[in-house]
Chain A
Amino acid sequence: MKAKLHQTRKAKVLYAIIACTLVTVSLLNVGRDRKVTITQYTSIDRPAKIRPDYAGTVVPPNIAPLTFMIEQEGSGYFVKIYSEKGKPIEIFSKTPKIVIPDRAWHRLLDLNRGQQLSLDIFVKSTAVKSSSNAENKRWSRFKTFTIEVANDDIDPFLVYRKIRPGHRTWRDMGIYQRNLNSFDESLVLNNGYFKRGCVNCHAFCGNRAEKMLIGIRSADYGSSALLVEGNKVHKIGTKFGYTSWHPSGQIAVFSVNKVRQIFHSAASEVRDVMDFDSLMAYYLVDSKTVKTTPNLSRKDRLETYPAWSGDGRYLYFCSAPVTWSDKTIVPESYDQIRYDLVRTGYDIDRDQWGPLESVLSAEETGLSILLPRISPDGRWLLFCMCNYGCFPVYQHSSDLYMIDLEAAKQTGQYKYSRLDINSSESESWHSFSSNSRWIVFSSKRGSGVFTRIYIAYVDESGKVHKPIRLPQKDPTHYDSCLWTYSVPELITGPVRATKEKLGRVVRSSERISVKMPITMATPRVGGPPEHQEPWQTERE
């Protein structure tokens, strides 16, 4: 009797296992996209609409798979990606979401550097099924479109800041690094490590993570700059604004800005920012001192956005005249403040600055010239121009422009050209890769509110090709992403200093005390900023 009972129980368990296995297998089978051989199809004489639009772009050979959505209604999708060499990638999907296998993608790109990738897209119509022949006829083949694979790699890591469109409460903001070969994103530092302060801009020396600066503003731990040198992290006891490293890594020039946020009562962009005052100073790494020079800190001008030339012999920066007397209120002519682009020579051996030279004047362009960045090879000067002011990310009119510095050297004239990649929305926060072949920039295209990062190829002639948006594993990621991505900087290797360590240094009382040579718009040395109000943090 007992044995029988035992047998029955055993049998029940066995049946249950079998049933579970069957259910699992069938569920897995249902979830799988079945392979279909398309023998007959209708040709459509236009490329399929996909999002993001990659047609005609130039992509880095080491970029993560460019996932996308096919914006055609259908019940099945087939994508074939192929080039001259290598095995084509074939993707069947029941949904319009196309996710490309990682390994196959990298293999194909690597084999076809300098070549074109072709994408064939087939969409199965949603018509009623009949025979197998009709089944094949239901497929439509769209016109092939191509993507060019560049010869030059892009730096494998990208560092950027993720914040919300409004961020006065400092709830959640951080600096992240993304491995461009994959979709891996990791945190460099967020404000959770120091009681919700502001993690400000980050600046790398020569696209290398071994030497970097991160600006910090915190009510609890004071304002400071984190200096990362290899494995060592130090806290410099003063606020660094926009920073540029000398290629030697021995000095870093930074701006000190007295910022005021204002609101537009009816413009499309709500927020705006202006500097009530600003100057520039420089930090000498070896002597741990801060200096400035009269040309960098004129009382009658606002100096900001420093950028070193590739050889470190010139410092480029933006400068605007102070045309109003009361530096505590927004002047009526706030929309007439325009910045010129100037430069000054520098001899690092003797720590001597040369005279100021005008590169491009606002009078000449009719626009405010901002955010100069020079390619590491020293050839290209990339900058923004917008209608007025100092903060391009809040200006729809902000576009990217470029100057060929080599040509300027020969002709003595700085000829600038507007890039074709601009959109009707703001373009800003651009930077170069270490090989000067790639630029990354923030753009508000497509939304007007949320900045996203774009990657564009700069060929030898200086032509900047159609950009791609920073790809994500889920092609619909940006459709509901409430973050803004800004200040993208390309680096050759990951930031090794852990977020723990960086956070610990921010919280520690140990700091490199520096004496500011001038106290115009600067905070007290080593102390918190002059104004603790969060509007000062309105930097996107």
Chain B
Amino acid sequence: MSNSRPKSSRRTPVSQSCPQDTIKQHSSQDLARLLQSSLFFILFYLYLWLYVDLRLIYHGAGIITNFPVFYKGWSFFVPFLSYPGGPLEYLSAFLSQLFYYSWIGALVVTVQAWLLSACIYYLLKAGNLPRIRWICFILPILLLVLYTRYTYYFATTLALLFTLLVACLYSKMTSSQPVTSSCLLTFLLLSLILYYLAGGAFLLFAVVCAIHELTFRSRWKTSLCYLLSAAVIPYVVGLLVLGVGSIDAYSNLMPFSWKILDYEARRRLVAIVYLLYLLAPVTLLVFGLGRRFGARLHFAKRPTGRKSGKKHPNRISNSPAEVFSWYSCSPKLRFFVNSLLLLAIAGGAGFFCRDENLRTRFKVDYYAYHKMWPELLASAQHNPDNPFIAHAVNRALYHVGRLGYDMFSWPQHPDYLFLSDEKYKWMYWQIFDVFLYLGVVNMAENALTECLEGLGGRPMILQRLALINMVKGNLGSAKIYLGALGKTLFHAEWANNYLDHLKTDPELSGDKYVQHLRSLCLDKDCPIYSLFTEKTLLWLLERNSQNRMAFEYLMARYLLRKHLGKFVQNLERLEDFDYPELPTHYEEAALIYMYQTGEPLGLSRYLPSLQKRQQIEEFSRILTGFGGDKKAASRELSKRFRNTYFFYCMYAPSGSNK
């Protein structure tokens, strides 16, 4: 923080005339502040890096819909130059890509937070209000809240930062020559630059400067002039010169822009961003005016010829005041208490604003996309009831070979397997990988192209679309997706490798992964509105009887919907795979079927174990013990059989949670 102090303040004649011990005291205070700030921002950084994990925000989980894309090259850059706020949007798009690596992303946000804090401190000092220095930590804390809740307002907060930086610059440039004309000229010049760079965020600059002029220089005419310019400059530069729309001319990059407010997903916690924007002007106005009126009042009350204030310590004689006095006189204690208080507030904000469920959702989605199945299952424990998490858990269980064994250890619902309910019909992001790895590539492609429209050309989407088109043999489209991907920062290598590969092997016959996916692809075409799950899975197995995922999902579907007849009919497909034994839930379902119908299973290789037979008998015995009253027996049964299909089959009515 001390670095942000203006040179002018260091050169004040007061400090030159101070005695040696006062200078020492000042420097030790500065050191303390520096230490405090450093400590705060180091913890801030570690929190973002290790707890929030900014790569989750980069990933977006289909929840963050305004995370920008960034492509290398002029063709991407040039359009940003054509409208106010464009250059900053470009910069923000670039910096946001660094969230791909959590530690760099956290560094970017920490630097941003530190600069915001420094700007506020500077403005307070310029307004002779350094005593309320604590305010400058509010901005980083608010930023912390935004990131803790996994929102994305980087462009808006970057615009705020630029605005405050330019406001500091204005204050600095006009402090030495506070002549009105010179101030006006400086303001105009900075306004034009800032408006072009930061768009609508310039309005804040005009307001801050107007307040500065009004409260600290008492120039209300200049102040009014600045406020008028806030209306005029966007009109002239934005509308007339750059030809943007009137709404965008005034609101681009502001928290009240339609680009944020028109979308429910984007306006989460927008009130915090309003606070961020309002903090500087409100603080300067309130404390600035307060100081002026306070000073007037003070002068009015003060008897002439007496220097007030010096006698104050002597007047305080009661004990709390003594404590306070002791506190004020002990810099170490002050430093310790202040730091503790600051960290407690920041920690409290982080703690009370956190949303573990939301965080789990982001983590699970990230792990699912990156096929980090064990990590996914570990994270999912925190919020297993969420439909999207439950859906991802089933995928993870399949991939670790545990779907037939453990799926009923997790909350289940018939709709979770394919997110098939009507209310999930726009959830393209969550479903495309299931379609792709099952072999229903057309549905995956459709989901991804909708994601492309809804979330932009994010690398994750382009990568999958390129892959799908290579699998389908649509090499022309694949090359276009790869071409776009080749312009991204962190996925270009993957894209270029494939582009080179396509030159030498257009059929991709040497690519085992593509060949594997091709071997799964559905070949039976029919017009559909949405996925007919059962029919499609059967077609997939017809196409390739070794499609294990199709088989396990088909069986899971039957189990979830309690279609035991169909389940048993398809048990014979087990022979097509190398299951060492009958998976636990299959055993349980088969036993239920046998007990219900009295029909034996036609499987010689896979028979329910003796242990399972004993379990179902025990289950039946407990139920009979309650006179067949399911409700009464539920508590007892859940103690021992909660994770079995026996329990699900008994207690989960179709269409409800386990």
Contacts and interface: CB of A to CB of B under 8 A. Distances in A.
A and B, one complex?
A: yes
Interface of A: 163-172, 192-193, 195-196, 260, 262-268, 270-272, 330, 334, 446-450, 474, 476-482, 499-500, 503
Contacts of B484: 480-482
Contact of B262 (A195, A478, A481, A503): A195
B264 interface: no
B245 A499 contact: yes
Q: Which of B445, B449, B522 has the most CB of A within 10 A?
A: B449
Contacts of B481: 482
B525 A449 contact: no
A195 B245 CA distance: 13
Interface stretch (B86-94, B404-412, B452-460, B578-586): B452-460
A265 B440 contact: yes
A193 B245 CA distance: 8
Nearest to B454: A169
B450 A266 contact: no
Contacts of B480: 447, 449-450, 478-482
Contacts of B51: none
A490 to B, nearest CB: 24
24 contacts: A165-B452, A165-B453, A167-B450, A171-B454, A171-B456, A195-B262, A262-B527, A263-B446, A263-B530, A264-B527, A264-B528, A265-B539, A266-B524, A266-B525, A268-B474, A270-B445, A272-B527, A447-B480, A448-B476, A450-B480, A474-B75, A480-B480, A480-B486, A482-B452
| Max chain B C-beta neighbours (<10 A), residue from A193, A449, A476 | A449
Given A166-B450, A166-B453, A480-B487, A265 B442 contact: yes
Given A166-B452, A330-B529, A448-B474, A266 B521 contact: yes
A167 B453 contact: yes
Contacts of A196: 262
Given A447-B477, A448-B474, A266 B442 contact: yes
Interface in B239-293: 239, 245-246, 248, 258-259, 262
A265 B525 contact: yes
B443 A265 contact: yes
A193 B244 CA distance: 11
Interface of B: 71, 75, 239, 245-246, 248, 258-259, 262, 426, 440, 442-443, 445-446, 448-454, 456-457, 469, 472, 474, 476-477, 479-481, 483-484, 486-487, 521-530, 536, 539
A172 B527 contact: no
A448 B440 contact: no
A425 to B, nearest CB: 9
A171 B453 contact: yes
A480 B71 CA distance: 10
B565 to A, nearest CB: 26
Contact of B524 (A193, A265, A449, A481): A265
Contacts of A163: 453
Given A264-B525, A447-B474, A447-B480, 20 more contacts: A166-B446, A166-B448, A166-B451, A169-B426, A171-B456, A263-B528, A266-B522, A267-B525, A268-B474, A270-B442, A270-B445, A330-B529, A448-B477, A449-B476, A449-B480, A450-B477, A478-B480, A480-B71, A482-B457, A482-B480
Contacts of B443: 263, 265, 270
Nearest to A503: B245
A169 B526 CA distance: 25
Contacts of A499: 245
Given A165-B449, A477-B75, A482-B484, A446 B476 contact: yes
Contacts of A271: 446
A172 B259 CA distance: 11
Closest 6 CB pairs of A and B: A166-B449, A480-B483, A447-B476, A169-B454, A449-B477, A480-B484
Given A193-B245, A195-B262, A481-B480, A169 B521 contact: no
B236 to A, nearest CB: 15
| Chain B interface mostly | helix
Contacts of A266: 442, 521-526
Contacts of B449: 164-166, 270
B536 A265 contact: yes
B245 A262 contact: no
A267 B483 CA distance: 24
Contacts of B452: 164-166, 482
Tell which of B443, B446, B448 has the most Cβ of chain A within 10 Å: B446
B442 A264 contact: yes
A171 B453 CA distance: 6
Interface centre among A272, A446, A480 (most CB of B within 10 A): A480
B379 to A, nearest CB: 28
Nearest to A335: B527
A500 B528 contact: no
Contacts of A449: 469, 474, 476-477, 480
B525 A168 contact: no
B449 to A, nearest CB: 3
Contacts of B474: 268, 447-449
Contacts of A500: 239, 245-246
A309 B527 CA distance: 36
Contacts of B448: 166
A196 B479 CA distance: 30
A199 to B, nearest CB: 14
Contacts of A169: 426, 450, 453-454
B483 A479 contact: yes
B235 to A, nearest CB: 12
Nearest to B479: A479
Contacts of A450: 477, 480
Nearest to A478: B480
Contact of A164 (B453, B476, B521, B529): B453
B369 to A, nearest CB: 19
Nearest to B483: A480
Of A166, A167, A168, A262, most buried by chain B (CB within 10 Å of CB) is A166
A271 B525 CA distance: 12
Nearest to A164: B453
A170 B75 CA distance: 24
A166 B527 CA distance: 17
A171 B458 CA distance: 14
A464 to B, nearest CB: 23
Contacts of A477: 75
A482 B448 CA distance: 13
A474 to B, nearest CB: 6
A450 B426 CA distance: 23
Nearest to B445: A270
Residue of B245, B474, B479, B536 with most chain A CB atoms under a 10 A cut-off:
B245
Nearest to B440: A265
A61 B341 CA distance: 75
Contacts of A481: 480, 484
Contacts of B239: 500
Contacts of B483: 476, 479-480
Given A262-B527, A265-B528, A477-B75, A270 B245 contact: no
Contact of A270 (B248, B446, B529): B446
A66 B539 CA distance: 49
B455 to A, nearest CB: 8
Contacts of A168: 450, 453
Contacts of B248: 192
A195 B260 CA distance: 11
A172 B453 contact: yes
A503 B448 CA distance: 30
A47 B181 CA distance: 68
Contacts of A263: 442-443, 446, 527-530
Contacts of B258: 192, 195
Interface centre among B446, B448, B453, by most chain A C-beta atoms within 10 angstroms, is: B453
A221 to B, nearest CB: 13
A264 B446 CA distance: 10
B443 to A, nearest CB: 7
Contacts of A166: 446, 448-453
A478 B75 CA distance: 12
